Amino acid sequence: QMELVESGGGSVQAGGSLRLSCVASGHTYNGRSDYCMGWFRQAPGKQREGVAVIDSDGTTSYKDSVKGRFTISKDNAKNTLYLQMNSLKPEDTAMYYCGASTLGWYSCLRHEFNYRGQGTQVTISS
């Protein structure tokens, strides 16, 4: 089993920044790096939506509405995935989840992760 633990959420005003972190561990993880990871979010009453994904070779993909504002990255030495969020908007308010997939890049592009964390809340006030 792979465990993912998110942190870094909080409440900020519109225009502000937050950096989310997701630490990976566990038997299934065991230091392997041949999986893709990503962030997705869900707001109350709304469907889950993918935000950004990153492949093992560093290839990234973003939801259109966050391009230019959010940056996904990972530090393999620290087993940590990051999401730097700048110029935040009230519509970015949601629970943010980290996910990992051992099923290939296209599963990540579809935000179909076989592992996910418990989430961290992001609230943006206007």
Residue 18 in this model has a pLDDT that exceeds 60:
yes
Tell me what the mean pLDDT of segment 113-120 comes to.
95
At 43-100, the pLDDT tens digits run: 999 999 999 999 988 999 999 999 999 999 998 888 899 999 999 999 999 999 999 9
Residue 30 is encoded by which pair of tokens?
């065991």
Predicted pLDDT of residue 66: 98
pLDDT value of residue 90: 97
| Kind and range of the H or E run holding 109 | helix 105-109
